[in-house]
Structure 1
Amino acid sequence: MTDPADGQAGSDGGHIDSFDDLDIAPRVRQAIADVGYESPSPIQAATIPPLMAGRDVVGLAQTGTGKTAAFAVPILSRIDPTARHPQALVLAPTRELALQVAEAFGRYSSHMPEVRVLPIYGGQSYGVQLAGLRRGAQVIVGTPGRVIDHLDKGTLDISQLDHLVLDEADEMLTMGFAEDVERILAETPDSKQVALFSATMPSAIRRLAQRYLHDPQEITVKAKTATAQNITQRYLQVSHQRKLDALTRFLEVETFDAMIVFVRTKSATEELAEKLRSRGFSAVAINGDMAQAQRERTINQLKNGQIDILVATDVAARGLDVDRISHVVNYDIPHDTESYVHRIGRTGRAGRSGNALLFVSPRERHLLRAIERATRSTLTEIGLPSVEDVNAQRVARFADSITENLGSDHLDTFRQLVENYARDKDVAMADIAAALALETRDGGFLMAPDPPEGERGERRERSPRRSSGGQFATYRIAVGRKHKVSPGAIVGAIANEGGLTRGDFGNISIRDDFSLVELPENLDNETLSSLRHTKIGRNPIDIKKDHGPPRTRGGAKRGGGHGRDGYGKRSDSWGKRSNPRVAGRGRG
């Protein structure tokens, strides 16, 4: 079984052939059957039995092995639907993962209407979460920061908890949630069952397991990373600024039936789909905010040829199986190899050949190498389609449209009109044909030549620094070195509460009693209001735009000197260039 919240199933594990061989609740087994799963994945076969027996478990597994069902199925099988208090708490490092896990719990409890599952995460209003808690949710799936907020407010009681899951524990600790996780663990009863899942086992995770788990069974499952042999894999090295132009050119010169274009965020699906439509392509966005009825309608349109391009996130494309998908484009490179394997697995179905294209910026080449190592395959580099290639295709399509219309039943009517016009106005037939073609195609039918490389480079050099959503601005937060704050903690807290992504962070400079963080200049008031109440540890960050250090009477900024900032204090700085881990964390 491959869990939709995770991706491709693992390659190692137990030898249980059917969910009927597992001692799970009949209503849960029925829900699994409804989804269409027949046999458990290796980690499910290895993990469900000890969890059903009440043992603590440490699972070493990558995203993509089916681990969500590995803990959701036994929890739902052992839950008391009549008790209206939190019985299970799943901690996840990001809001996206929290939502994926909550959705999975919802699927597996579809025949248990009395069971309520509530995701709580930063960026969502407290009102929705408070209402859900008052109604009595038995399963809480949350990010550490927001769970701590509810504990502080007294709105979440975990004193009667039976099950606790730490999902992607290494990611949580890397993002600076160690103190929050330990605080949450300390407020839970000793009698609870704990399941800890991590891709790696660093010393911090080992210590956590030794301190809070009782005689855990350790399970290691490796994910399958091999890609299908019938998929041609290529990559194009292109800067972020030229991605849209590159995709447009690729769509014009490549022959494809249907295509999925993968991006990282929900907002990017809508934005890119709109830009493609404005360029004449039949593109529609599909993301996690889409209602199920609308999602099904969109997929049916893709199946029957009404639309040709889906712009999707990983979550939205899970379970998508459409035979006519001939191409997958990774517009945004995935940051883990399992996501890449899962994405390109949408093409090359039913024995057909498929095509996968990966966009790689110069700074992302290390991710390309990681994908090649993990998949044991070499991607072929291609160049950006030239202006000449694009124009040749446009001319060929124009000629094809003429040939197609020559066979129309309505040709005689329009021939008579054109002949009358040519006779009355004394205009050559070729000029009339050109004028009619201009009516259906704008004057920019052929692409202009590319500017010389030097000119493109000069324009980029003068461009201001930009985030994924626009220009950066510097924000000041009220935590610094004396609060023992780390860049990972800053990124984790702000990303989760503000709904930001890795591309929304620039440099982070930590000072003695405050820090400076580069974030999108156009953060809306709602996001800023949410972030002002965010805490790192127990300290509110009180975020606000930074207007620089005070000026002297002569107008110059105070400070300066080697190793000092404009505030006259020595600073520790981290940025995308000097410490890529800072920019690589904080999936909101």
Structure 2
Amino acid sequence: MSDGSTAQTLSLFAELGLPENLTAPLVALGYEAPTPIQAATIPPLLAKRDLIGQAQTGTGKTAAFALPLLAAIDPKGPAAQALVLAPTRELALQVCEAITQYAAGLPNVRVLPVYGGTGYGDQLRGLSRGAQVVVGTPGRVIDHLERGSLDLSNLKFLVLDEADEMLRMGFIDDVETVLKAAPPKRQIALFSATMPPQIRRLAQTWLNSPEQITLAGKTSTAPTIRARAWIAGGGMDKFDGLCRLLEGEPYEAMLIFVRTRLGAADLVASLNDRGFDSAALHGDMQQKDRERVVEALREGKVKIVVATDVAARGLDVERLSHVVNFDLPGDVEGYVHRIGRTGRAGRSGEAILFATYRERPLLNLLEKGTRSLIEKLVLPGAELINTARTAKLEGQLIETLGERPKNHAVFRELLESFTTTRGLDPLDVAAALACRLQGGSPFHLRADPPPSPVEAAPKPRARTRDQDENQIEFGGGGKQLWRIEVGFRHGVEARNIVGALANEVGISSRNLGRIEIRDLYSLVELPANLPPTVIETLGNTWIAKRQLRAMPWPPAK
């Protein structure tokens, strides 16, 4: 960041009322300007107002409450001046890490996470040392209150993060227990993506004339994310399709979403059986096991993690190149939240959806709800998969030969004796060993059935008089082949082309010949000697958000 940009960033955050020791770390963290939620909430929080913020995850709300929180505490003062309640251990850890980064200019400030599923030792030691900021889940915070290891008598600032999620998970009574333990003169910031009646009642009971900030729900996807969908069929189910994707498409790290913890465990077992090293992330796991999976994903020790929505909350791994919706999300916001874990920091990301035939309407709803195209996913073909498998085997052999492992000489001598005494071809022996390693499954896939790109134009439906009057009649003259710039990858079908040509261009389906839909373009037989006005209209017509830009095919030399 240039000196000018640094100064501008410092100025923009300083204008909100933040002191310099809080704005300086933001530059090092890559911040350029306050997000809308930060600009709206930081000033009233600095003014010690209670606040209700209705905003989605991923809008910058952690900084929106963390910076005023840090401004409110005394770095040399007593413990537990600020408390943040979060619904999950993952989110608590993420918030704790963020506050620690924002507090880089406050060297005496200590931030401590407290959460269940792990021992009390480190948490008790951290509390006894006097952490001014405590971030925790409701249940474990109550445990420490009952033990006497957490004292809220000096509390100045209390944050309820993702309050609706705490309600959904059954923690709302615990939240009220914590609120009752807090002193009456404390500032409260409540953040929630939605405002169900119970959350409104909670706010009315415990917040004092709160400032209310509402930002529109996040229902759009980042421009750096490409979304593609595959509908099971052709003899392959969703798992078969996923395996093809894993074998044929390069990826750095992949997060696969399923609905249930049982689904996560089953899918991981199936993937591992197919030779794809993967790990599960769900709510029934011990905290240390969950942390180990996330760290392995972050460090590249595992490339595939299968997760439930709740277990993945707060998961932020920069190297995620693919997010796969193996089970479709229930709504648009859930979809946006899932796929928003890729395509971050300017990197491109891939969002993949696997659906059954009956789930097609949900794909349409997601596309309309996000106002963004979900392209048709073309799975890698058998030829590509077989080439990849061969290359992988060759690479493994070359790597092993280059390393000359400890047993190499032993096995070489053994096999030399074995082939000589039995008069066997060494290649046959090597092939037999490879078969043992492969097991009973075939090494190469069967060739894909020949594609059927030529689709007969559907029979015309009964037409109204007005529609018939708009059609252009062509007499004789034969057919000419035209190329249009829309194909399989854009999700187009023959009926889309027929409908557009009839309604937009005025060419009746009975005047069309064959239609060949290829990967990125299609070929259509149209009447020869089209009038110039029709050709111009044809070129300017759009199908599946693609301009046809029609041209005769093959092009004249």
**1:370, distance to aligned residue in structure 2 (A):** 6.2
Equivalent residue in structure 2 for 1:195, among 165, 189, 206: 189
The answer (yes or no) to whether the contact 2:54–2:192 under 8 Å persists in 1 is yes
**Aligned partner of 2:32: which letter?**
E
CA, structure 1 residues 190+17, in 2 after alignment: closer, same or farther (shift >3 Å)? same
d(CA) in 1 for partners of 2:361, 2:87? 24
**1:80, distance to aligned residue in structure 2 (A):** 0.8
Provide the secondary structure at the position in 2 that maps to 1:171: helix
Q: Residue 387 of structure 2 corresponds to which residue in structure 1?
A: 396
Q: Residue 444 of structure 1 corresponds to which residue in structure 2?
A: 441
**1:369, distance to aligned residue in structure 2 (A):** 6.3
d(CA) in 2 for partners of 1:104, 1:266? 28
d(CA) in 1 for partners of 2:342, 2:385? 28
Q: Residue 50 of structure 2 corresponds to which residue in structure 1?
A: 56
Instruction: Map 1:175-574 to 2 at 5 A.
Output: 175-228=169-222, 231-236=225-230, 245-252=240-247, 254-256=248-250, 258-263=252-257, 279-280=274-275, 289-290=291-292, 298=299, 309-311=303-305, 314=312, 318=316, 320=318, 325=321, 327-331=322-326, 336-346=334-344, 355-360=350-355, 371-380=366-375, 389-390=381-382, 392-397=383-388, 438=435, 444-446=441-443
CA, structure 1 residues 364+399, in 2 after alignment: closer, same or farther (shift >3 Å)? closer
Provide the secondary structure at the position in 1 that maps to 2:27: helix
Q: Residue 151 of structure 1 corresponds to which residue in structure 2?
A: 145
The answer (yes or no) to whether the contact 1:266–1:288 under 8 Å persists in 2 is no
d(CA) in 2 for partners of 1:363, 1:127? 51
User: Is 1:34 the equivalent of 2:36?
Assistant: no
**1:161, distance to aligned residue in structure 2 (A):** 1.1
Deviations 1:184-212 (A, max 9, x none): 22232222111111122233333322232
**Aligned partner of 1:178: which letter?**
I
The answer (yes or no) to whether the contact 1:226–1:341 under 8 Å persists in 2 is no
**1:401, distance to aligned residue in structure 2 (A):** 8.1
**1:271, distance to aligned residue in structure 2 (A):** 9.7
Equivalent residue in structure 2 for 1:94, among 77, 88, 111: 88
**1:273, distance to aligned residue in structure 2 (A):** 7.7
d(CA) in 1 for partners of 2:420, 2:306? 54
Q: Which runs of 5+ in 2 are unaligned?
A: 1-8, 282-288, 402-417, 447-557
**1:59, distance to aligned residue in structure 2 (A):** 0.7
The structure with the largest alpha-carbon Rg is 2
d(CA) in 2 for partners of 1:365, 1:152? 51
**1:116, distance to aligned residue in structure 2 (A):** 2.1
Provide the secondary structure at the position in 2 that maps to 1:261: strand
d(CA) in 2 for partners of 1:118, 1:45? 27
CA, structure 1 residues 164+230, in 2 after alignment: closer, same or farther (shift >3 Å)? closer
Deviations 1:419-446 (A, max 9, x none): xx99999889996896687588556333
d(CA) in 2 for partners of 1:147, 1:396? 55
Deviations 1:381-425 (A, max 9, x none): 66988xxx54x44543467689999x9xx9xxxxxxxxxx99999
* Fraction of identical pairs, as percent: 45
Equivalent residue in structure 2 for 1:171, among 155, 165, 171: 165
Provide the secondary structure at the position in 2 that maps to 1:37: coil
**1:115, distance to aligned residue in structure 2 (A):** 1.8
Q: Residue 495 of structure 2 corresponds to which residue in structure 1?
A: none
How high is the TM-score relative to the length of structure 2?
Answer: 0.59
Equivalent residue in structure 2 for 1:137, among 122, 131, 135: 131
CA, structure 1 residues 158+403, in 2 after alignment: closer, same or farther (shift >3 Å)? closer
**1:102, distance to aligned residue in structure 2 (A):** 1.9
CA, structure 1 residues 226+188, in 2 after alignment: closer, same or farther (shift >3 Å)? same
Instruction: Map 1:16-35 to 2 at 5 A.
Output: 18-35=12-29
Provide the secondary structure at the position in 1 that maps to 2:104: coil
Root-mean-square deviation (Å): 4.9
d(CA) in 1 for partners of 2:443, 2:60? 49
d(CA) in 1 for partners of 2:395, 2:152? 69
The answer (yes or no) to whether the contact 2:386–2:445 under 8 Å persists in 1 is no
The answer (yes or no) to whether the contact 2:88–2:313 under 8 Å persists in 1 is no
Deviations 1:478-505 (A, max 9, x none): xxxxxxxxxxxxxxxxxxxxxxxxxxxx
CA, structure 1 residues 200+431, in 2 after alignment: closer, same or farther (shift >3 Å)? closer
Q: Residue 414 of structure 1 corresponds to which residue in structure 2?
A: none
**1:61, distance to aligned residue in structure 2 (A):** 0.8
d(CA) in 2 for partners of 1:183, 1:404? 60
Provide the secondary structure at the position in 1 that maps to 2:191: strand
**1:63, distance to aligned residue in structure 2 (A):** 1.6
**1:332, distance to aligned residue in structure 2 (A):** 5.8
CA, structure 1 residues 67+229, in 2 after alignment: closer, same or farther (shift >3 Å)? closer
- Which structure would you say has the larger RCO, counting Cα contacts within 8 Å and 6 or more residues apart? 1
Provide the secondary structure at the position in 1 that maps to 2:80: coil
CA, structure 1 residues 205+446, in 2 after alignment: closer, same or farther (shift >3 Å)? same
**Aligned partner of 2:75: which letter?**
P
Q: Residue 538 of structure 2 corresponds to which residue in structure 1?
A: none
d(CA) in 2 for partners of 1:229, 1:236? 21
**1:137, distance to aligned residue in structure 2 (A):** 1.8
**Aligned partner of 1:379: which letter?**
I
**Aligned partner of 1:289: which letter?**
E
Q: Which runs of 5+ in 1 are unaligned?
A: 1-14, 302-306, 411-420, 450-588
**Aligned partner of 1:396: which letter?**
T
d(CA) in 2 for partners of 1:103, 1:266? 27
The answer (yes or no) to whether the contact 1:394–1:446 under 8 Å persists in 2 is no
**1:214, distance to aligned residue in structure 2 (A):** 1.9
Q: Residue 554 of structure 1 corresponds to which residue in structure 2?
A: none
d(CA) in 2 for partners of 1:214, 1:148? 23
d(CA) in 2 for partners of 1:119, 1:45? 27
CA, structure 1 residues 365+71, in 2 after alignment: closer, same or farther (shift >3 Å)? farther
Instruction: Count residues with an aligned counterpart.
Output: 407
The answer (yes or no) to whether the contact 2:152–2:182 under 8 Å persists in 1 is yes
The answer (yes or no) to whether the contact 1:65–1:222 under 8 Å persists in 2 is no
Q: Residue 75 of structure 1 corresponds to which residue in structure 2?
A: 69
The answer (yes or no) to whether the contact 2:325–2:354 under 8 Å persists in 1 is yes
d(CA) in 2 for partners of 1:423, 1:181? 77
How high is the TM-score relative to the length of structure 1?
Answer: 0.56
d(CA) in 2 for partners of 1:230, 1:217? 34
Deviations 1:335-362 (A, max 9, x none): 6234234134259x56x6x542124579
**Aligned partner of 2:152: which letter?**
I
Deviations 1:109-138 (A, max 9, x none): 234342222222332223333332222221
d(CA) in 1 for partners of 2:437, 2:113? 50
**1:56, distance to aligned residue in structure 2 (A):** 1.2
CA, structure 1 residues 428+140, in 2 after alignment: closer, same or farther (shift >3 Å)? closer
Q: Residue 46 of structure 1 corresponds to which residue in structure 2?
A: 40
Provide the secondary structure at the position in 2 that maps to 1:160: coil
